[in-house]
Structure 1
């Protein structure tokens, strides 16, 4: 499995060194030179892990972490020269997964990254996604609606998983295209609407959980019954 890694670091030389180290170990690495770019990339793609420098121009790592955490559940590891306990506590309060002090050893950083990825993989194994009347087994790719098995084509299943993993968040058609179809595949955004229709049909009486956000996209939100 090839893991995707985002490195957000304003010091170009250090960013290059870290990138080359991880690329040689089989990672797919993306780069950001500041916090704003990191947030933009994290919104467009699903990374397996993000390395965030704290002191960056335009937007610091703490603010970038807060914004990313508001939209994505992804392991985040801070890289920083700030050693105070207060800074470290702030990082963990923002739900960072680890905190590495500069200067650091690349092999140790790699070990920490691998540990986080292993922990996340273990947490994901056999995990289920649940909503009102909907159950998705991520390991077997089986879907149940009100206790009954429902068959879905791969693309429709992937769309359901993406929507449920981002429950209560408004997702644009372009975001859905990028994450479900992939950025390298050219599709008109109307294909999203067509696939949403197929998903709603498959969900039957539970289709109301997929809300249309006019002129924007869609949102998965559980229906509430009195």
Structure 2
């Protein structure tokens, strides 16, 4: 069976309440209470998005994230009562796309989930279109470019080499590419990639760093994604 959202949280009442709230907005949602149940769930079901707690009784959400990332490319949003910046940085660096602190507002959580599900749907549509138009020369008109986006596989081709990206990484490079060779402000990136302009710079910095590690020959001396201090970033092609 296919679900829009899976909640992995050992707080069963909160998970149930959140799932029921999402269902009111036609977001098909299931919930499990442990890492083991999560792995079993993926054996028989497909999911567009994962809401993942860090503390899972005998398990860790960090371990779940790492394991899921080995096989699936889907948005993973951490939901946790842990408030430390170190937890946020770890969550984002191992593949998390967002970090929502408990107690959370249902309305804000819903808005974040909707933004990510909309992007998932856009990627699915792009993938279907690219399959239909495989023989269309227009698809390959940018083959000679240094960097080419491939939404159908959530990857890019850089200098002829295919590089797979995580959901937020692809969304970020997609936004930078849309405005390539021009400065994109931090607020613009937060708005278009996260659907929220009220984010800390730390969240953006972690994702930019991960992108540079995959794209740049020397991430410490970036030549593709350049920082415009105090303003934002520019994708130079």
> Is residue 2:110 matched to residue 1:120?
no
1:130-153 per-position Cα deviation (integer Å, ceiling 9, x unaligned): xxxxxxxx22643869x9xxxxxx
Larger CA Rg, structure 1 vs 2: 1
Q: Give the drift of 1:3.
A: 5.5
Q: Could you tell me the TM-score, scaled by structure 1's length?
A: 0.55
Other-structure match for 1:10:
10
Does residue 1:76 correspond to 2:76, yes or no? yes
Displacement, 1:115?
1.0
Task: State the TM-score, normalizing by the size of structure 2.
Answer: 0.53
Asked whether the 8 Å contact 1:43–1:71 carries over to 2, the reply is: no
CA contact (8 A) 2:3 2:46 kept: no
Which residues of 2 match residues 101-116 of structure 1 at below 5 A?
A: 101-116=101-116
Q: Give the corresponding residue for 1:139.
A: 129
Are the equivalent residues in 2 in contact too, given 1:43–1:68 (CA < 8 A)?
A: no
Partner of 2:201: none
Secondary structure in structure 2 of the residue aligned to 1:27: coil
Please state how far the C-alpha of 1:120 moved relative to its aligned partner.
2.7
Answering whether residue 53 of structure 2 is matched by residue 53 of structure 1, we say yes
Match for residue 31 of structure 2?
Answer: 31
Structure 1's unaligned 5+ residue stretches are 128-137, 148-163, 166-226
**36-45 or 18-27: which moved more?**
36-45
Unmatched 5+ stretches in structure 2 = 138-152, 155-237
Q: Secondary structure of the residue that 2:31 maps to in structure 1?
A: strand
Do 1:42 and 1:68's aligned partners in 2 also have CA atoms closer than 8 Å?
no
Query: For the aligned residues, what is the CA RMSD?
Result: 2.5
- Structure 1 residues 49 and 18: CA distance shift in structure 2, 3 A: same
Q: How many positions carry a matched residue from both structures?
A: 138
